[in-house]
Each structure stands twice: as structure tokens, then as C-alpha cells.
Amino acid sequence: MAKNKGTRIIITLRSTKCKAIESNNQKKDLVTNQIYSIKKGKKKIDYTTTKNRRNTPDRLELKKFCPNCNAHTPQKEIK
């Protein structure tokens, strides 16, 4: 007998209001690529977690710690 797909799925959460990433994106337009690559140090931080597909069918949003901002920021589910 075949198993049906489980109700728990693995999702990825990404920061939506990270000040460090937003400022880097704005600097990229203003500064040449060589200088930008030196200042680039900030990364996007992704969290992985599981959710129950039946209990939360819509996108999940949690507050997680962002090391770039050094604060708790809202993290939204991405595809």
C-alpha cells in the first residue's frame, strides 16, 4: 500500500525588513562593483522549519533573530 504525502512540510523563512540588506542593495546602485564587493559582508540569513499544512495553509510569518541587524525581525515564508 502506498503512503500518502505527510501533513508536515519543510519551509524556508527569510527576513523581510532587514536594514542591513536593504542598505546594501541601495549602495550597490550608487557604488562601483569593485568597492561594493569589498563592503558586501552582509548575507541573507535563511531559517528552515516545518509547518503543518492542514493547520496553517497560508504563509507563515515568525519573528526570528537577524545577525545583520542584531535584532529580531519578521521572517516570512518563501517558495
Q: pTM score > 0.75 for this model?
A: no
Q: Report the amino acid identity of residue 56.
A: T
Cα 29 to Cα 19: distance, rounded to the nearest angstrom: 16
Domain 9-17+45-78 has CATH 2.20.28.120: yes
At residue 37, the 3 state secondary structure works out as helix
Q: Among 11, 3, 15, 77, which Cα is nearest to 48's?
A: 11
The predicted-structure confidence for 22-55, as pLDDT tens digits, reads as follows 555 555 544 444 444 444 556 778 999 999 999 9
Domains in the chain: boundaries:
9-17+45-78
Between CA 75 and CA 12, with CA 10 as vertex, the angle to 5 degrees is 25
